[in-house]
């Protein structure tokens, strides 16, 4: 059998067309799958981002509350120390007198 027979070239052409068609279908299918996966991952990541954002907002509110409590307590301690300082100064004035 020689390569110049029409049946051989016809079989080569049919095989090449089949291979190109199969490759085209495979590429299209993979493209659809990748696009679908990309959309699903994007949606899941957006959902996770919203959850983390809500949790961090909640944590910020808790830290703000704790900060307010500490500020109030430190203010109370500061006032007590000022009162103590005045009392010690008064005692020192009584004990040593004014000079």
What does the alpha-carbon distance between residue 81 and residue 88 come to, in Å, rounded to a whole number? Answer: 10
Query: Do residues 9 and 2 touch, judged by C-beta distance below 8 A?
Result: no
pTM of the model: 0.47
What does the alpha-carbon distance between residue 62 and residue 84 come to, in Å, rounded to a whole number? Answer: 33
For the chain, first and last CA: distance in Å? 131
Question: Domains of the chain: which residue ranges?
Answer: 70-99
CB atoms within 10 A of CB 90: 10
Three-state secondary structure call for residue 2: coil
pLDDT tens by residue, 58-79? 888 889 889 988 988 888 898 8
pLDDT tens by residue, 19-45? 999 999 999 999 999 999 999 999 999
């Amino acid at each position: 059998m020689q390569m110049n027979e029409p049946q051989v070239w016809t079989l080569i052409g049919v095989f090449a067309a089949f291979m190109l068609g199969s490759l085209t279908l495979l590429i299209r299918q993979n493209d659809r799958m990748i696009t679908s996966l990309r959309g699903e991952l994007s949606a899941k990541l957006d959902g996770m981002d919203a959850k983390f954002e809500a949790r961090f907002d909640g944590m910020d509110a808790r830290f703000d509350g704790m900060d307010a409590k500490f500020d109030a307590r430190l203010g109370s301690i500061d006032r007590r120390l000022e009162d103590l300082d005045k009392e010690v100064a008064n005692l020192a004035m009584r004990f040593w007198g004014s000079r």
